[in-house]
Amino acid sequence: MAHAEIVRMSEDALDMEALRRAGRILKEGGLVAFPTETVYGLGGNALDPDASKKIYAAKGRPSDNPLIVHIAEWESLFPLAAEVPEAARRLAEKWWPGPLTMIFPKSDLVPYETTGGLDTVAVRFPDNAIARELIRQGGGYVAAPSANTSGRPSPTLAAHVEEDLGDRIDMIIDGGQVQIGLESTIVDFTEELPVILRPGFLNRQMLEEVLGEVRIDPGLLKEDPSVRPKAPGMRYRHYAPKARLAIVEGRQESVCEKIRELVSAREGQGAKVGIICTEETRTEYPTGLVRCIGSRADDTTIARHLYEILRDFDADGVDYIYSEAFDTPRMGQAIMNRLIKAAGHEIISA
Ligand code: TXA
Ligand code: MG
pLDDT digits (tens, 9 = 90+) for 245-302: 999 999 999 999 999 999 999 999 999 999 999 999 999 999 999 999 999 999 999 9
**Residue 61 CA from chain centroid, whole number:** 15
Give the model confidence (pLDDT) of 29-54 as tens digits: 999 999 999 999 999 999 999 999 99
Displacement of CA 271 from its chain's centroid (Å): 30
Question: Is 166 among the domain residues?
Answer: yes
Same domain, 216 and 290: no
> Ligand 1 within 6 A of 55 CB?
no
Answer yes or no: is 228 within a domain.
no
Ligand 1 contact, 118 CB (< 6 A)? yes
Determine the pLDDT at residue 278.
97
Q: Mean pLDDT in the chain? A: 96
Output the pLDDT for position 237.
67
How far is Cα 247 from Cα 244, in angstroms, rounded to an integer?
10
Minimum-distance ligand 1 atom for the alpha carbon of 65: 21
In short, whether 122's Cβ falls inside 6 Å of ligand 1 is yes
Query: How confident is the model over 213-250, as pLDDT tens digits?
Result: 999 999 887 666 678 889 988 887 667 788 999 999 99
Q: Note the pLDDT of residue 343.
A: 92
| Per-residue model confidence as pLDDT tens digits over 168-223 | 999 999 999 999 999 999 999 999 999 999 999 999 999 999 999 999 999 887 66
Return the residue whose CA atom lies nearest to atom 32 of ligand 1. Answer: 231
Residue 274 CA, ligand 1 centroid: distance in Å: 30
CA distances in angstroms from 59 to 148, 151, 177, 222, 272, listed in the order given: 6, 9, 21, 27, 29
Residues 6+ apart with CB under 8 A from 63: 53, 56, 113, 116
Pocket perturbation via mutation, ligand 1, pick of 52, 146, 185, 191 by most ligand atoms within 8 A of CB: 146
Q: What pLDDT score was predicted for residue 222?
A: 65
Residue span of the structural domain in which 70 resides: 5-221
Whether residues 184 and 310 share a domain: the answer is no
SS3 (DSSP) at 136: helix
The answer to whether residues 11 and 175 touch, using CB atoms and an 8 Å cutoff, is: yes
67 domain-assigned: yes
- Mean per-residue pLDDT for 158-169? 98
CB of 121 closer than 6 A to ligand 1? yes
CB distance 186 to ligand 1 below 6 Å: yes
Domain of 131: which CATH number? 3.90.870.10
Nearest ligand 1 atom to the CA of 146 is 14
Cα of 103 to ligand 1 centre, how many Å?
Answer: 10
State how far the Cα of 194 lies from the Cα of 217, in Å rounded to an integer. Answer: 10
Do the domain assignments include residue 23?
A: yes
| C-alpha dihedral, 115 to 158 to 304 to 332, nearest 10° | 20
Together in a domain, 251 and 199:
no
Give the alpha-carbon dihedral of 292, 294, 299, 303, to 10 degrees.
-80
Beta-carbon contacts of residue 283 (< 8 Å; ≥ 6 apart): none
Q: Tell me: do 249 and 210 sit in the same domain.
A: no
> Is the pTM higher than 0.95?
yes
From CA 229, how far away is CA 189, in angstroms rounded?
16
153 and 99 in a common domain: yes
pLDDT, tens digit (0-9, with 9 covering 90-100), for 80-139:
999 999 999 999 999 999 999 999 999 999 999 999 999 999 999 999 999 999 999 999
- Choose the final residue of a domain: 155, 186, 221: 221
pLDDT of residue 299: 96
Which domain CATH number covers 275? 3.40.50.11030
Under 8 Å between Cβ of 216 and 195: yes
214 and 155 both lie in a single domain:
yes
Position 145 pLDDT exceeds 70: yes
Q: How far is the CA of 115 from the centre of ligand 2 (A)?
A: 14
- The residue out of 187, 221, 255 marking a domain boundary is 221
Shared domain check, 335 and 205: no
Give how many domains the chain has, as a whole number: 2
User: Are residues 112 and 195 located together in one domain of the fold?
Assistant: yes
Q: Quick check: is 94 in a domain?
A: yes
Q: In what order do the strands lie in the sheet with 142-143?
A: 5-8, 171-174, 32-34, 41-45, 142-143, 68-70, 120-124, 100-105, 185-188, 195-198, 215-216
Same domain, yes or no, for 199 and 338?
Answer: no
